[in-house]
Structure 1
Amino acid sequence: MQIIEKMTKFSIEGPSAVAIGKFDGIHRGHRKLLEDLYKEKEKGKKTVIFTFDPSPASFFAGETVPGLMTKEEKRQWFLENGIDVLVEFPMNKETAAIPADVFVRKYLVEQMNAKYVVAGLDVSFGDKGKGDWNLLQSLGHELGFETHFIKKVECNGREISSTYVREEITNGNMENAAFLLGFPYTFSGVVKHGRALGRTIGIPTINIVPDKEKILPPNGVYFSKVQIGNKTYKGMTNVGCKPTVDSKGEIVIETFIYDFKEDVYDEDVSVSLLKFRRPEKKFADINELKEQMEKDLAAGKEYEIPATMLT
Structure 2
Amino acid sequence: MEIIKDTTDFYIQGPTAVAIGKFDGIHKGHRKLFSDLIEEKNNGKKVVIFTFDPSPASFFAGATVPGLTTRDEKRKWFEENGVDVLIEFPMNAQTAATDPVEFIERYLVKQMGAKYVAAGQDVSFGDKGKGDYKLLDAMGQKLGFETHFITKVEIEGREVSSSLIRQEVADGHMENVSKLLGCPYTLHGIVSHGRALGRTIGIPTVNVIPSKEKLLPPNGVYYSIVRVGDKILRGMTNIGTKPTITDENLVVSETYLYDFSGDLYDKEISVSLLSFKRPEMKFSGVDELKTQMSLDVENGRLYHHSIETAKYNWNE
Task: Give the TM interval when normalised to the shorter protein.
Answer: over 0.9
Show the 5 A alignment for 1:135-150.
135-150=135-150
Task: Measure the CA separation in 2 of the matches of 1:221 and 1:310.
Answer: 23
Show the 5 A alignment for 1:87-106.
87-106=87-106
Return the offset for 1:309.
Answer: 2.5
1:271 alignment partner, SS class: strand
Determine if the alignment matches structure 1 residue 12 to structure 2 residue 15. Answer: no
Q: Deviations over 1:122-151 (max 9, x none)?
A: 110011111111110111011000011111
Task: Measure the CA separation in 2 of the matches of 1:94 and 1:14.
Answer: 26
Task: Measure the CA separation in 1 of the matches of 2:312 and 2:277.
Answer: 16
Show the 5 A alignment for 1:145-160.
145-160=145-160
- The aligned counterpart of 2:311 is 308
Q: Deviations over 1:49-87 (max 9, x none)?
A: 110000001001111000001100000000111111111
- The aligned counterpart of 2:22 is 22
1:142 alignment partner, SS class: helix
- Amino acid of the residue matched to residue 311 of structure 2? T
1:236 alignment partner, SS class: strand
Q: Deviations over 1:207-229 (max 9, x none)?
A: 11110001110111000011111
2:271 alignment partner, SS class: strand
Q: Which runs of 4+ in 1 moved over 3 A?
A: none
Task: Measure the CA separation in 1 of the matches of 2:123 and 2:29.
Answer: 13
Contact 1:117 1:147 in 2 (8 A): yes
| TM-score of the aligned structures, taking structure 2 as reference length | 0.96
Query: Paired residues, what number?
Result: 311
| TM-score of the aligned structures, taking structure 1 as reference length | 0.98
Show the 5 A alignment for 1:212-291.
212-291=212-291
- The aligned counterpart of 2:299 is 299
Return the offset for 1:234.
Answer: 0.4
- The aligned counterpart of 1:80 is 80
Return the offset for 1:310.
Answer: 5.4
Q: Deviations over 1:191-250 (max 9, x none)?
A: 111110111111111111110001110111000011111111000000011111111121
1:195 alignment partner, SS class: coil
**Alignment gaps of 5+ in structure 1:** none
Contact 1:3 1:86 in 2 (8 A): yes
Contact 1:244 1:286 in 2 (8 A): yes
Task: Measure the CA separation in 1 of the matches of 2:287 and 2:130.
Answer: 61
Task: Measure the CA separation in 1 of the matches of 2:181 and 2:206.
Answer: 26
- The aligned counterpart of 1:202 is 202
Return the offset for 1:291.
Answer: 1.0
Determine if the alignment matches structure 1 residue 174 to structure 2 residue 174. Answer: yes
Return the offset for 1:35.
Answer: 1.4
1:303 alignment partner, SS class: helix
